[in-house]
A and B are shown apart, each in its own frame.
Chain A
Amino acid sequence: MYLFNKNQGILLATFIMLFLSFLAVTAEAKREATKKDTHPMVTEQDKLMPCHECHKTSTPRVYQEWFESVHGIGNVKCYQCHGTFENMQRVPDVNRCAVCHAEAFDHSENKPCWQCHKAHRFQVSK
């Protein structure tokens, strides 16, 4: 005696195939998420958390460097340089620095700011 009749078997096989496909897609998505040009998956609810709440643990060194920098003390937040979910940049366009530091471009010799002022610390030599 078969556990399933023919139709049920087809249905089950289809379901298993779909499930395996879903797992494959999910695994792919996870692999994608580890690449540098993607951000891990976030929910709409996740998007309502300040970036640093995750990055405290996911990138603790970056968080610490920012927190102790003049940007951290002065409340210059992640999105001000990196943008938000619609316009996010892992490495910000240097023009974003110009919002507050346009005059500093005079001494930049066309190098991005962080080549001398280490990203997230942004120390200035006196």
Chain B
Amino acid sequence: MLTRREFIKRSAALTAASFVGMNLPFQLDKAFAETEADKWVRGTCRLCGTGCRVDLGLKNGKPVVIRGVADSRTNLGYLCMKGMLFYKVMGHSDRLKRPLYRAQKTEKFKEISWDQALDIAAKAFAKAIQTHGNDSVAYYGSGQAQTEETYLFQKVFRAGLRTNNVEGNPRLCMASAAAGYMTSFGADEPIGGYSNIEKARCFFIIGSNMAEAHPVVFRRVMRRKLDNPKEVTVINVDPRISPTSRIADMHVQFRPGTDLALLNAMAHVIIEEKLYDEAFIKDYAVFKKQGEKGPENVDFEAYKAFSADYTPEKASKICGGNVTPDLIRKVARAFAQSGATVSMWTMGLNQRLHGVWANNLVHNLHILTGQLCKPGADSLSLTGQPNACGGVREAGGLCHLLPGHRLVENEKHRSRLEELWGVPAGRIPPKPGLHTVAMFQAVNEGKVKAIWINCTSPAQSLPNMEPYRKGLAREDVFVMVSDIFPTRTTELANLILPAAFHFEKTGVYGCTERRSQLTPKAVNPPGEAKPEVWMVREWALRLAKELNDPVIAKCVEPFVGLKEDYDLPKAIWTEYSQKITADQDNDLRGATYEVLAKMPDGVQWPAPTEEFALKGGTVTKFLRGADPMADKEAKDDKPYQFYGRPDRKLYVWLRPYKPAAEEPDAEYPVYLSTGRIIDHWHTSSMTGRIPELMRANPYAFVEINPKDAQKMGIAPNDMVEVESRRGKCVLPAKVYEGPIEGMVFVYWHDMAEERMINKVTKDAFDAISKEPEFKICACRIRRLSGPQALKPFVVTM
């Protein structure tokens, strides 16, 4: 573990950049206004994928405080600063309150009525379809939309508008994790969950600064470590030393992208020292390599021969940093011999050219050592967004997915859905739609003529964003955005639809650990803001008339006339959970609104009956006696039934080390990586408007290793230009022994024109998952000036 002194040494020495104005002293000890709520409403946190349960406190009908729910199995009562403060978004003066429209993007917006807005939206999409075909329209959604919303959007687009151009921002964060689970375990989403944290004896944290990105999960890991300092080992694997490193026994710092070699070398040690679980491998594993025509079976001996090449000596040379052969051996032994290792990762593995491979290589270690389905052992991908799992991965929110963990390209899956929805056979097109990068490239090329962007800001969050901003600015592309605040994307819209926020509408979020949780409406949305489910229903009805296509109306027919506060989302959830997930691996039939309202912390699927759901659902997937699907699908007497595949096997993949899409060279000699910080969420459209959070991190910094800073004459807070082949930013420097030498790290939340780092990142993407490689590209940096007075910035109307 880093000592306090060591950690302070690593911390940046921040000084005020300059002094602007002078304030009189302020009084302390003002009353805490948020006390004495007169009503509490239970729901889920709006921000990250942890799934913290919260009680929203109201006073005279207005939100005044948020508290954690102590008997919730996700957060045990704890909240981070974002979780405790997001109620300030409600009632904020910047909220979008009325529909806004402009025919040309160069014009000013004008307020219009909902009637006008829905007519304009329906006519624009109808015109695109009639003139350019069904694939000229698209939906781009969010892992922050509720499940009811994503489900209804995709139903209307696929079965109504007959296009699979249904995508969402989880493509940018979780697609590699989903594909990793599918290719390794045959089924998406983690086998276990957070309950293993308190039973684990080793934590393998790779590519995740969970102390900032998942603070409450980190707090559980921290407590486990601090309470059991000798029994529990924490290994942090990251090119950047971060706040997560504070609890680490071993920090493995390597050259970006070389973790593929490191993970293979760990497997090498596990085999060489016979630390693998032979019986588990014999019963449950097969070995696979990617052949020219698809996956090919190989045997254990072939895998041994493959990993024999990744000696710790060879890997340490590839990895650089502090990675020695001895450190690799120590890490591999700690991982294999604990008997209860939990691996956790996020974007460091996922946002990569070989993100799926990186996921496979972590799963390999768990399969080899038999550390799955056992107490304290799990290969646990931490989800970034609150409903990327529940809404997007489970309810069909990506171009290749259909709801209930089904696939577009599977004819039986399509037919089953058409039958369940009561639409004509063949209504869902057989070809997957455009994935995120392809979708926005199609916008650039004018092939997509009308796009609905919901609850996300691709104009800031796409990698290599400038060409995509130009595409969205085209006058021949109708851009419709539903959101709660102005963003970089609303700046490029024709039509802005004001949306209700969390707790201003009712719906379900499904977090990292297969857990679905209900958040009911507690307060009215401001002005004329509406829940998205209402928008989709009303728009679809008008579109059906415009296109003279009753099947579009059929998609929303079960929901016509229902009140949007509760009855409408409940009816959508009922259709989804009772019909669509029935007998699927994410069976949610037991998780009715009534059951979810009773549970302090929701339900983990599979949960086929209410009786089972009321006990919390399935804590460990595939485990007989714990997972009803494992009992039902059992083919033999073995305790684990990996029913994701007919052969009931887990796949150990032979995945070689390959470099990133763009490695540093003479012209651009520095690695650039980007990430989040604790006080801000994504593009800061919400957190940037909460004074406490904005002040804590008012602008993006570029973190530079002190050795690099010295070489380039950069002092703390100097203004530094970060430039790649695609674009450049100018940011203040944080000189910090965090990033490895030769790498800089930039926070991506900042909306200021000169500090949006996605102008610099690269849009190369994983061949399997189509997830872009945000985490690695080549750049060059130079000092522009000494400290400058900077102002925090958020987009306003």
Contacts and interface: CB of A to CB of B under 8 A. Distances in A.
Interface of A: 29, 32-33, 36-50, 53, 64, 67-68, 70, 73-77, 79-80, 83-93, 95-96, 98-103, 126
Given A44-B20, A73-B222, A95-B35, 11 more contacts: A43-B20, A47-B695, A49-B16, A67-B7, A73-B246, A75-B243, A83-B692, A87-B32, A95-B65, A99-B65, A100-B78
Given A70-B223, A99-B84, A43 B19 contact: yes
A67 B4 CA distance: 8
A102 B792 CA distance: 34
B438 interface: no
Contacts of B678: 75
B297 to A, nearest CB: 46
Contacts of A84: 691-692, 695
Given A84-B691, A84-B692, A102-B67, A39 B32 contact: no
B250 interface: no
Contacts of A93: 31-32, 35
A59 to B, nearest CB: 14
A91 B29 contact: yes
Contacts, number: 139
Nearest to B54: A99
Contacts of B23: 41-44
Interface string B241-257: 00100110000000000
Q: Which 7 A-B pairs have the closest CB atoms?
A: A93-B32, A103-B70, A48-B698, A38-B25, A84-B692, A90-B28, A95-B35
B36 to A, nearest CB: 8
Interface stretch (B212-220, B422-430, B605-613): B212-220
B222 A45 contact: no
Interface string B215-235: 100110011001100000000
B538 to A, nearest CB: 38
Most buried by A among B34, B222, B692: B692
A21 B4 CA distance: 47
Contacts of A103: 70, 77
Interface of B: 4, 7-8, 14-35, 65-68, 70, 77-81, 84, 211-212, 215, 218-219, 222-223, 226-227, 243, 246-247, 678-679, 691-692, 695-696, 698, 789-790, 792
B257 to A, nearest CB: 27
A113 B120 CA distance: 57
A29 B14 contact: no
Contact of B696 (A40, A50, A73, A102): A50
B34 A95 contact: yes
Contact of B27 (A37, A73, A75, A102): A37
B77 A43 contact: no
B19 A45 contact: yes
A98 B32 contact: no
Contacts of B679: 77
A100 B78 CA distance: 4
Contacts of B21: 43-45
Nearest to A82: B28
B29 A37 contact: yes
A15 to B, nearest CB: 21
Contacts of B691: 84-86
A53 B14 CA distance: 7
Contacts of A75: 80, 211-212, 215, 218, 243, 678
Contact of B247 (A73, A96, A99, A126): A73
A43 B25 CA distance: 10
A97 to B, nearest CB: 10
Contacts of B79: 99-100
Contact of A39 (B25, B84, B243): B25
Contact of B77 (A64, A86, A91, A101): A101
A55 to B, nearest CB: 12
Contacts of B698: 48
A39 B28 contact: yes
A88 B30 contact: yes
Given A41-B22, A95-B34, A100-B79, A46 B16 contact: yes
Nearest to B66: A99
27 contacts: A29-B24, A38-B25, A39-B28, A41-B25, A43-B23, A45-B789, A47-B695, A70-B219, A73-B222, A74-B215, A75-B215, A75-B243, A75-B678, A76-B81, A79-B81, A84-B692, A85-B26, A87-B33, A88-B26, A88-B28, A93-B32, A99-B65, A100-B67, A100-B68, A100-B79, A101-B77, A102-B68
